[in-house]
A = this chain, B = another copy of it.
Amino acid sequence: MAKEVTNREDNYSQWYNNLVVKADLAEASAVRGCMVIKPYGYAIWEKMHEQLDKMFKETGHVNAYFPLFIPKSFLSREAEHVEGFAKECAVVTHHRLMVNPNGAGVVVDPDARLEEELIVRPTSETIIWNTYKNWIKSWRDLPILVNQWANVVRWEMRTRLFLRTAEFLWQEGHTAHATKEEAMEEAQRMVEVYAKFAREYMSMPVVVGHKSETERFAGAVDTLCIEALMQDGKALQAGTSHFLGQNFAKAFDVQYATKEGNLEYVWATSWGVSTRLMGALIMSHSDNNGLVLPPKLAPIHVVMVPIFKTDEERNHILDKMAAMKQDMELRGLSVKIDDRDNLRPGFKFAEWELKGVPVRIAIGPRDLEGGVVELARRDTMTKESVAQEGLTQYVLDLMDTIQNNIYDKAFKFREENTFKVDTWEEFKVKIEEGGFLLCHWDGTAETEAKIKEETKATIRCIPVDTDVCVEEGKCVYSGKPSHRRVLFARSY
């Protein structure tokens, strides 16, 4: 097989990169840190986009679009915000090129310097709250429930396809509310939307929780998140939802007249998921044969590969496949017939396994005669002979089975790799093995920093599921009293 992938056990990081490139999901571009999302990868992102957009609209949100550029001075308005983003900003300083007076090509025209530099948005709180100032006068203008689908740029020094790139695609919700309670509810509602999407569409179990103060979004009062466990035992933050308090309303002077006629600052949330979800999806389910896609996000549900010797056999089989395809597509399945004439079936099998297509159907002359097909499941790598009659319904049912099986497998993996750890010695051993460590913590940023320094582990979140976590104990590091466990892990 031409496109062999490094074994996951040998080099996890190389396995991941191999897979992304060889499954035609994305590749590095000529621009440092920026990726090209290839059609097959983009088709998965489109499915994510479509489903998330539906869920946002069902929860009352509408889409809008704000400028790519943010005046430099806007960033400085919220002190923590600028501190969080200043070091990774792409800065536009000029608006024109000119022919190089001293040689070939073009150079920046020194006369076209901008009066104020523009930042390519790393996130849009500042430009949006500057806009909301004009949209909000009274309580009747609230709430504002807006989402934006956009590209953003954060000049990361070490980048990895989908997981950390200088430019990425995302959605960012920015809502404005009359009361603190309403804004807090919104932040919770949206992290639950993300959790539902991760579980039901990505087949990815996630822990919902609050970030510690240290790990909060720059400018937030509280950050909620979903955290998933990857197959190498590292955590991945897959989505965040921030309660911003009145920080941005104060920075941009956004007040509203209450029913009683008083002026009050507006309460805010923001929440986002990005193409990073692609990385999470890949690392949650894939194996040494390649991608494993949950049916709800798979661009192709069923691939059909004809097996034949003669042209006559080929024609009969392809006719049969065309009829099956039509029947399946009427029921909402996406089907591809791989009739390429220059590749052997074995090569095709491997290629579609690499691309994670949930079901493969092969038909040879004997299958045709016997009224059966050979059906292979990508998730279990099992094969069976299935009757052609009723095949569409069989495949439809199988899609649900596969969707659930992938989730169950990932859930089992997480359960097996989540540990309650109560001593520092055990912590240091366990963290090397990977997984989620549920530990008591004394609640101080100092202890958090020391644990990170000594083990590279961070608090992924303070889980909202109190059943698991709320109990008395002693901090795993300092031994000081603690009232609940929090989730530690090394992370992406």
A87-B97, A96-B89, A97-B87 known; A65 vs B31 contact (CB < 8 Å): no
Is residue A468 contacting chain B, with contact meaning CB distance below 8 A? no
A98 touches B69 (CB 8 A): no
* Given A37-B64, A130-B30, residue A89 in contact with residue B93 (CB < 8 A): no
**A131 to B36, Cβ gap below 8 A?**
yes
From A34, A37, A88, A97, name the one whose CB has the most chain B CB atoms within 10 angstroms: A97
Instruction: Specify which chain B residues have a CB less than 8 angstroms from the CB of A395 in the assembled complex.
Output: none
Determine whether the beta carbon of A34 is less than 8 Å from that of B67: yes
A120 to B140 Cα, complex, angstroms: 39
Report yes or no: A70 in contact with B117, Cβ–Cβ below 8 A.
Answer: no
A66 at the interface (CB under 8 A from B): yes
Q: Are A67 and B97 in contact, with the CB atoms below 8 A?
A: no
A245 to chain B, nearest CB (A): 23
Chain A: interface residue count, which band?
35 or more
Cα A354 to Cα B34 in complex, Å, equals 43
Nearest Cβ distance between residue A219 and chain B, in whole angstroms?
A: 15
**Are the C-beta atoms of B70 and A31 separated by less than 8 Å?**
yes
List A residues 303-354 near B (Cβ within 8 Å): 342
The answer to whether B29 touches A42, judged by C-beta atoms less than 8 angstroms apart, is no
A413 within 8 A of B: no
> What B residues does A117 contact at CB under 8 A?
108
B-contact bits for A94-105, CB 8 A (1 contact / 0 none): 111111000011
CA A29 – CA B94 in complex, angstroms?
19
Q: Which residues of B contact A91 (CB under 8 A)?
A: 92-97, 108
A133 → chain B closest CB, angstroms: 10
**Minimal Cβ-Cβ distance residue in B for A153:** B68
Given A39-B63, A82-B106, A88-B96, 13 more A-B residue pairs with CB atoms under 8 Å apart are: A29-B66, A30-B74, A34-B69, A36-B131, A42-B64, A43-B63, A69-B167, A73-B105, A76-B106, A86-B98, A86-B106, A91-B96, A120-B120
